[in-house]
C-alpha cells in the first residue's frame, strides 16, 4: 500500500511538472531546485510591452521572479522591428506566460536555469559571454551600478570580448539607477556570469537582466544590462 501511495505521489509530481512547463520551443529543465518556478501559478497578468525584453522585464517585475535574457541580433536596427507583446491572463502559470511571450515574439526559447531563474534566449544563437566564469570577481557592499561598472575589471570578460572581436556598449536613459540600488554582497565563486547576474537581479529586486550582441557599423557590440 505504501509503495502504491509513493508511486501515485511521484506520478502526480511528474504530471504537474510536465503540465506546467509544456514548451512552445522546447523548454529545457535541468538541475531543478525543490521549487520549479515555471510551475508557479500567476494571476492577473497584463503585459502590453514593446519587444521581448520589455515583456520579460515587465513579467519579471510583476511576479518577482528572476528572468535573464541573452540574444544575438543581425544588426542594431533589427531590434527596432519587434512587435508589442500583449498578454492578458486572469490565471495562468509562469510557463504558460513565457510560452505566450516567445510565441508572440518569435525566434526565442526559454528554460529554467540551474539557479532556478528563467533564462530566455534567441534560438539562432546564444551569447556565450554569459557562460564565462570569472575566477575572482568580488561583489562586496556594491550597488547595482557599481556592480555593472566593475564588470570591465573581470579579465575573463575582457578576454571573451577580445576573442570575439567585440566591444562593450550600453545605451540608457538615465533613470535606470534611481531604484533598486541597495548595496549587496554576493558569493560569486564558481558561478558563471549569467548565474551572477541572476543573483544580482534577485537580491537587488530588479528581477531582470539582459545581454545582447549585435553588429553596428560592421563591428560586434555586446550590451550588458542589469536593469
Partner 1 sequence: MTVDNATQKGLVTGASAGTATIRAQSPSFVVYTGNVCDGEAPPPCPTGAFASTGPVTVQTPTSLRLDSTTLTPYTGQTVKNCDGSDAGIGARWGYVRCAVYTLVDQQSPAQAIKKAGIGIHEDVQVLATNYSAQNFSGDISTDANGRIADFLALLGTTSTTIPANACSYAKQTLSTVVKGSTKTLRINCLHYTATDVTITDITSNPTNCSTTCP
The C-alpha atoms of residue 92 and residue 42 are separated, in whole angstroms, by 5
Q: Helices 51-63 & 94-105, crossing angle to 10 degrees?
A: 170
Q: Is 107 in the site for partner 1 (CB under 8 A)?
A: no
Pairing of β 139-142 and β 184-186: antiparallel
Rounded Cα distance, 225 and 214, in Å: 14
* Contacting residue, 32, 51, 104, 220, with partner 1 by CB under 8 A: 51
Maximum Cα interatomic distance, the chain, rounded to a whole number of Å: 69
Q: Annotate each residue in 129-168 with x if it binds partner 1 (CB under 8 A) or - if it does not, as one string.
A: ----------------x---x-----------------xx
List the one residue from 170, 180, 203, 220 that touches partner 1 (CB under 8 A).
170
Comparing CB distances to partner 1, the nearer of 27 and 184 is 184
Q: Would you give the DSSP letter of residue 201? A: H
Q: How far is the CB of 152 from partner 1 (least distance, A)?
A: 9
In this complex, which beta carbon is closest to partner 1, that of residue 95 or of residue 201?
Answer: 201
For residue 174, give Cα distances in angstroms to 30, 77, 127, 178. Answer: 37, 22, 25, 8
The footprint of partner 1 on residues 13-32 (CB under 8 A) is none
Neighbours of 80 (CB within 10 A): 9
Q: Which residues bind partner 1 (CB under 8 A)?
A: 49-51, 53-54, 57-58, 76-81, 84, 145, 149, 167-178, 210, 212, 216-217, 221, 223, 225, 227
Amino acid at each position: 500500500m505504501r509503495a502504491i501511495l509513493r508511486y501515485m505521489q511521484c506520478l502526480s509530481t511528474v504530471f504537474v511538472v510536465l503540465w506546467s512547463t509544456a514548451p512552445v520551443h522546447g523548454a529545457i529543465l535541468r538541475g531543478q531546485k525543490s521549487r520549479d518556478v515555471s510551475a508557479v501559478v500567476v494571476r492577473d497578468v497584463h503585459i502590453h510591452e514593446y519587444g521581448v525584453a520589455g515583456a520579460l522585464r515587465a513579467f519579471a517585475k510583476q511576479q518577482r521572479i528572476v528572468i535573464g535574457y541573452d540574444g544575438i541580433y543581425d544588426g542594431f536596427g533589427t531590434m527596432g522591428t519587434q512587435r508589442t507583446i500583449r498578454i492578458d491572463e486572469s490565471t495562468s502559470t509562469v510557463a504558460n506566460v513565457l510560452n505566450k511571450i516567445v510565441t508572440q515574439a518569435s525566434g526565442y526559447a526559454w528554460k529554467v536555469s540551474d539557479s532556478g531563474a528563467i533564462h530566455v534566449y534567441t534560438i539562432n544563437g546564444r551569447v556565450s559571454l554569459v557562460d564565462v566564469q570569472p575566477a575572482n570577481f568580488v561583489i562586496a557592499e556594491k550597488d547595482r551600478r557599481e556592480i555593472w561598472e566593475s564588470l570591465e575589471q573581470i579579465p575573463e570578460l575582457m578576454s571573451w570580448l577580445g576573442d570575439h572581436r567585440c566591444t562593450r556598449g550600453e545605451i540608457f536613459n538615465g533613470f535606470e539607477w534611481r531604484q533598486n540600488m541597495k548595496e549587496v554582497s554576493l558569493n560569486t565563486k564558481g558561478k558563471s556570469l549569467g548565474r551572477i547576474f541572476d543573483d544580482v537581479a534577485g537580491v537587488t529586486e530588479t528581477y531582470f537582466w539582459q545581454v545582447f550582441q549585435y553588429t553596428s557599423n560592421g563591428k560586434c557590440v555586446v550590451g550588458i544590462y542589469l536593469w
